[in-house]
Structure 1
Amino acid sequence: MSTLELHVDVGVPVDRAWESLHQVENYPSFVEGVRGARTEAGGRAHLEVEAGGRAREVEAEVTDSGEHVMEWLTTGSPGMTGSFSVQPVDENHTRIQARLQYDPEAVRNTFGGPKGFAQTNAIERLVRGDLEHFKEYVERG
């Protein structure tokens, strides 16, 4: 299992950042490869994802754990878990900490892509890009 932790500071108050992360329907606006997303009953999220030329539907259980921590777990393949921690830097700035645990081979089998270290680098670039896109999205309002 590989673990990736990255963060980005955004120029909005913590409550606005927190609310934006919970609007799953808007994920296609800032998460690379997500073509559609919706919230479902029971704390579930349904994502239509295209990666490596392959389209897949991904289901995840989403829970709030503690103050301003959102955790998620995919319910099928590829098995991944993660969390977003949202912490105030000051009154108008917030740090978004993303944590992702995944099996590189399972991700490769599901979506294709390079093997080994190259894949780990590709996933890190993807998550880093998604955080930057979230920053742009939330700061635009």
Structure 2
Amino acid sequence: MSTVQESIEVEVPLSTAYNQWTQFEDFPRFMEGVEQVTQVDERHNHWRTKVAGVTREFDTEIVDQLPDHKIAWRTLGGEVRQMGVVTFEPLDEARTQVRLAIDFEPDGVAEKAADAMGLVDRRVKGDLKRFKSFVEERGVAEGGWRGRITPGS
């Protein structure tokens, strides 16, 4: 397993950053390589990605979600194996620290090489920068789901 950890400060209130992150179907607007995310229900999403010409589809499950604090997920079966957590910390009334940690299993020689060269870290860092621009340009979230999902439920 490999781990990527990145963080960024966004100049929006905590609830705005958190609410926008819960809009999973907007992820292709700021995540490189993500072509589509379909929210199946409150807990499950279906993803289609295309990285280095390789298209993959996989499902994720939210395993822990605490409004204005964190969202943790894992993939379900398939060839993509990852889990992660995004956390939100207020810095003041108008700024939020967003931290993203992802554990993943590179699949195949190309993914292992990309991981070894730090390409995954740079991609995650770029995604967070694009999220910052995306949410700051709007100033408000385009929606938000504030339900609680507890581990093991």
- If the length of structure 1 is used for normalisation, what is the TM-score? 0.88
**What's the CA shift for 1:55?**
1.0
Gaps (5+ residues) in structure 1?
none
Gaps (5+ residues) in structure 2?
139-153
**What's the CA shift for 1:48?**
1.1
Q: Whole-Å Cα distance in 1 between the matches of residues 64 and 92 of structure 2?
A: 22
Q: Whole-Å Cα distance in 2 between the matches of residues 50 and 99 of structure 1?
A: 21
Give the equivalent residue in structure 2 for 1:11. Answer: 11
Alignment RMSD: 1.6
Q: Whole-Å Cα distance in 2 between the matches of residues 64 and 93 of structure 1?
A: 24
**What's the CA shift for 1:65?**
3.7
Identity of aligned residues (%): 29
**What's the CA shift for 1:58?**
1.9
Q: Whole-Å Cα distance in 1 between the matches of residues 2 and 86 of structure 2?
A: 17
Higher relative contact order (CA 8 A, sep 6+): 2
Q: Whole-Å Cα distance in 2 between the matches of residues 131 and 123 of structure 1?
A: 12
**What's the CA shift for 1:36?**
1.1
Match for 1:77: what amino acid? E
Give the counterpart of 2:103 among 101, 117, 125: 101
Report matched runs for 1:7-46 at 5 Å: 7-41=7-41, 43-46=43-46
* Number of residues of Structure 1 aligned to a counterpart in Structure 2: 135
- If the length of structure 2 is used for normalisation, what is the TM-score? 0.82
Secondary structure in 1 matching 2:79? coil
Please state which structure has a larger fraction of its residues in helix.
1
Give the equivalent residue in structure 2 for 1:78. Answer: 80
Q: Which runs of 4+ in 1 moved over 4 A?
A: none
Q: Whole-Å Cα distance in 1 between the matches of residues 130 and 63 of structure 2?
A: 23
